Amino acid sequence: MIGIIGAIPEEVNAIIAEMQISETRIIGDRKYYIGHLENVACVLVFSRIGKVAAAITTTTLIQEFKISKLIFTGVAGGIRKDIKVGDVVLATHLAQHDFDVFPLYPKNEIPLINKKYFTTDTELNQTATNEISSFLEAKNIHNYISENDLNEFKIQIPNLHQGLIVSGDQFIYQKEQVSKILNDFPETLCAEMEGAAVAQVCYEYQIPFTVIRTISDNANETATIDFKRFIEKISNTYGLWIIKHILKNIKTLPN
């Protein structure tokens, strides 16, 4: 069973619509959709926003549904200069940019597990890289999203980037926030609000996972408007094709 999480309905609604759902369960005020997509058994849920919400949801997926792998799909604010709205970022590792117990413990390190970074699964990442890059290179996005909508966000040929994603319980839209993130984590590609919490839970339970984010905004003064328009118009389409293409090619045990 594969666990799939998005933070908000706009990140997963299109996947729910295509899933063959056999059952739904409400646990801890969240609705879990259980069924198949691309003939792969999966359970899908939106966690709501933030690290606590994401951690609760991830723990439930592991404890109640015994998932063997987890994929997080959603949007993020681009931090590195060359990352544009419509690009996709695949996390090789994640960190919680707002977590800091210095000077009691080393800066930005999660105490007692002695980790600043959590690493995603190389096998899942390989499948995700192959699928997403061939999709983007083939300009397939133009078949799924209208030229009007692509033009609104100036999306032409989106790129796939791989590297560090940081998470925190803040929407990033001010220069000061970006400077602090880059000061503490200079290699940051983008920022969001759940991935590194999912990563910590998966690390502690030893569940292979990956986090894939489409860039909805540039974490700047127009981020609020860009984010809202992007989740209204675009994010569902990316989420659906990313998840479908990965599931088609994922190696799972029959269940």
Nearest to 11 by CA among 214, 147, 244: 214
Q: How far is the CB of 220 from ligand ADE (least distance, A)?
A: 8
Catalytic: which of 10, 11, 131, 192?
A: 11
Q: CB neighbours of 125 closer than 8 A, spacing ≥ 6?
A: 90, 92, 162, 210
Task: Region of 108 please: left (phi>0), alpha (psi -120 to 50) or beta.
Answer: left
Q: How far is the CB of 185 from ligand ADE (least distance, A)?
A: 14
Whether 11 sits among the annotated catalytic residues: the reply is: yes
Whether 23 sits among the annotated catalytic residues: the reply is: no
Q: How far is the CB of 224 from ligand ADE (least distance, A)?
A: 8
Return the number of the residue (42 or 168) whose C-beta is nearest ligand ADE: 168
Return the number of the residue (51 or 69) whose C-beta is nearest ligand ADE: 51
Return the number of the residue (219 or 240) whose C-beta is nearest ligand ADE: 219
Site residues (CB under 6 A) for ligand ADE?
75-77, 171-173, 191-193, 216-217, 219, 223, 227
Nearest residue to ligand ADE on Cβ basis: 77
Catalytic: which of 131, 192, 194, 217?
A: 217
Which DSSP helix (H) or strand (E) runs through 72? strand 69-78
Which DSSP helix (H) or strand (E) runs through 63? helix 51-65
Q: How far is the CB of 22 from ligand ADE (least distance, A)?
A: 31
| Burial (CB count <10 Å: 0-12, 13-18, 19+), residue 252 | middle
Positions annotated as catalytic residues are: 11, 217
